[in-house]
Chains A and B, each alone.
Chain A
Amino acid sequence: MPDTRSGAGPALSVTLAELDGLPAHADGAEVWRALGRADLIAHAYRGGDVAAGVDPAGLERLLAAVDARFSIAATLSMSVQLATGLPVLATGSAPIAVEALDHAVSGEATVALAATDVTAGTDLTALRTEVRIGDDCLEVHGEKNWIANTTTAEHFIVLARHRDGRHFTHFTWVLVPAGAPGVTVRPADSPLFAASGVGHADFDAVRLGRDHILGRVGMGLPAFARHIGTERLAGALWGVALCRRVLDDTRRRLATRPHGESTIWELDSVRQRFATAVVRVRQLQALCRLLEDHVADRHDAVAAATLKAAAAETVDHVLGTCAQLWGAAGFAAGGIQEVRAQAALFGIGGGASELVLATVADGAESVLAALEPAGIRP
């Protein structure tokens, strides 16, 4: 069924030529620059305005276009910036934040959303990175680990605590220039995700003006809760694109691989396994269509968690199936087994499956009530 939603249309396909000029091994920062040069980054947002929120159709098209051409690591680099990094940056109104956002939207610079701390990502309120807020300046101390775009970013968008304790009002976003004295970055030792610029960042008494606070003091976690939902939606939309692409590659291979008098594609056992994977990806796409506006418009955390959990399961199932069908050839460099290892990210990054399922459980009562046929509810 064709996509009839509003959003980026023919203009997007024309300007995608900018991406075709890059090699398939281009890293996330190179892809981001190309997207900016072609004015494509704004396509992910309603009316081209980051502060207006994501446009699911435009976001989906960008994710599919980048996924079709580049590595999972490069797509991750873009996805995090589009879905979470830029929207959080847009909560800042000071000139320095506006300028950083302009640089990012034009592709001149990447930004790194630095939420995950040295503590467990599933225990966000335990994070240790601290911002000491004075009358006219800030000082940032701490360390952020496994952050996409760390090695290329012009700015870090840092989630830090301004008060001890775990209460949700104790956290604030701070815009930290990567070149500020006291900032040190190290690439993570990860061949699978090097192209995402993933790394670790240390903040050692980084002194900044108060205008580097993004949004309101104390609203760091509420802002994060709203925007991480968009990242979970982006992950599900990307999951559909990735599964579709891998299934298409796999089907073409099976259809040309001789087996007996015919091809592997003609084996019933293969067709049934393949069809099951097709059903799974269609289910994920249907779930995206059902819930995308709940996330984009209403910041529905349960809907976002549902999408994230479903994407992780679907990607794991579909890529596992395809990897089996590729046989030994799947172990080639850059082959399906490598893609599968990278795609394990879907169950970990942006909220591990266990964490998002806990959110779904919290909302189970309202989800079940919404499943009742109309006219039955009292």
Chain B
Amino acid sequence: MDPRFIDVLRPLVKTANPEATAITADTDLRKVGIDSMQAIELLFSIEDTFGISLPDEDLNDSTFATAGSLWRAVQAQLQQHDAGASGKATA
């Protein structure tokens, strides 16, 4: 996972020691305290940090289940974004 993604995620972790909490692809977002309000903040932070919008079909609980599932959705948008940008550059 991209370090910037971890940086966006970590401030929202509500464990006893957020800095020491390992964030891996398997990290269950609910179990580290990311409830609805924090998940909304997370969504906006991702969109602001990476300059992307998650598509409607990714707006569901499966996407927001783990750090890995969310990162995959973000990564897919980043790849589309990059492909679009390089397509424009070579056009």
> A residues near B, CB below 8 A?
125, 163, 165-170, 216-219, 221-222, 225-226, 299, 301, 359, 362, 366
In Å, the complex CA distance between A240 and B36 comes to: 31
Given contacts A167-B64, A169-B61, contact A359 B36 (CB under 8 A): no
**Chain B residues within 8 Å of chain A by Cβ, number:** 16
Q: 23 A-B residue contacts at CB 8 Å?
A: A125-B36, A165-B61, A167-B60, A167-B61, A167-B64, A168-B36, A168-B39, A168-B40, A169-B59, A169-B60, A169-B61, A169-B64, A170-B60, A216-B59, A217-B56, A222-B40, A222-B43, A301-B41, A359-B37, A362-B14, A362-B37, A362-B38, A366-B11
Q: A301 near B37 (CB under 8 angstroms)?
A: yes
The answer to whether A218 and B60 have CB atoms under 8 Å apart is: yes
A299 vs B63: C-alpha distance when bound (angstroms):
24
Q: What is the chain A residue whose CB lies nearest that of B14?
A: A362
Of chain B, the residue at the smallest CB distance from A359 is B37
Contact B56 A166 (CB under 8 A): no
Nearest A residue to B57, CB-CB: A218
B59 touches A218 (CB 8 A): yes
B14-34 contacts to A (CB < 8 Å): 14
- The answer to whether B50 has its CB under 8 Å from any CB of chain A is no
B55 to chain A, nearest CB (A): 9
Are B61 and A225 touching (Cβ within 8 A)? no
* Residues on B with beta carbons closer than 8 Å to the beta carbon of A359: 37
Q: Are A217 and B40 in contact (CB under 8 A)?
A: no
- Output the least CB separation between B43 and chain A (Å): 6
B20 CB, min distance to chain A CBs, angstroms: 15
| CB nearest to A167 among chain B residues | B61
A167 to B30, CA, bound (A): 11
Which residues in window 32-91 of B have CB below 8 A to A?
36-41, 43-44, 56, 59-61, 63-64
- Residues of A with C-beta under 8 A to B44: 222, 226, 299
Are A167 and B36 in touch, CB under 8 angstroms?
yes
Closest 6 CB pairs of A and B: A218-B59, A167-B61, A169-B59, A168-B36, A222-B40, A225-B40
CA separation between A290 and B5, bound complex, in Å?
A: 30
- List the B side residues contacting A226 at CB < 8 Å: 44
A168: chain B residues at CB < 8 Å are: 36, 39-40
State the CA gap A91–B5 with chains docked (Å). Answer: 27
A221 to B61, CA, bound (A): 14
Taking the closest CB of chain B, its distance from the CB of A121, in whole angstroms, is: 15
Q: A167-B61, A169-B64, A299-B44 are in contact. Are A221 and B14 (CB under 8 A)?
A: no
Contact A219 B59 (CB under 8 A): yes
| B61 cross-chain contacts in A, Cβ below 8 A | 165, 167, 169-170
Bound Cα distance from A299 to B37, whole angstroms: 13
B15 to chain A, nearest CB (A): 12
Indicate if the CB atoms of A217 and B59 lie closer than 8 Å: yes
* Distance in Å: Cβ of A174 to nearest Cβ of chain B: 15
A221 lies within 8 A of B40 (CB): yes
Shortest beta-carbon distance, A256 to chain B, in Å? 50
Alpha-carbon distance between A169 and B44 when the two chains are bound, in angstroms: 13
B12 to chain A, nearest CB (A): 9
CA gap between A125 and B40 in the complex, in Å: 13
- A residues less than 8 Å from B36 (CB atoms): 125, 166-168, 221
Known: A167-B64, A362-B14. A216 touches B56 (CB 8 A): yes
Q: Which residues of B contact A221 (CB under 8 A)?
A: 36, 40
- Closest Cβ of chain A: how far from B60's Cβ, in Å? 6
Residues of A within 8 A of B63 (CB): 169
Distance from B79 Cβ to chain A, minimum over Cβ atoms (Å):
21
Complex: how many Å from CA A299 to CA B36? 16
> Please, which residue of chain A has its CB at the minimum distance from the CB of B33?
A362
Nearest CB to that of B56 among chain A residues? Answer: A217
| Besides A168-B40, A225-B37, 12 other A-B contacts (C-beta < 8 A) | A125-B36, A167-B64, A169-B61, A169-B63, A169-B64, A218-B56, A221-B36, A226-B44, A301-B37, A301-B41, A362-B37, A362-B38
Give the residues in chain B near A165, CB-CB below 8 Å: 61
Give the docked Cα–Cα distance between A91 and B15 (Å). Answer: 35
B36 nearest CB neighbor, chain A only: A168
User: Within the complex, what minimum Cβ distance (angstroms) separates A135 from chain B?
Assistant: 14
CB distance from B11 to the nearest CB of A (A): 8
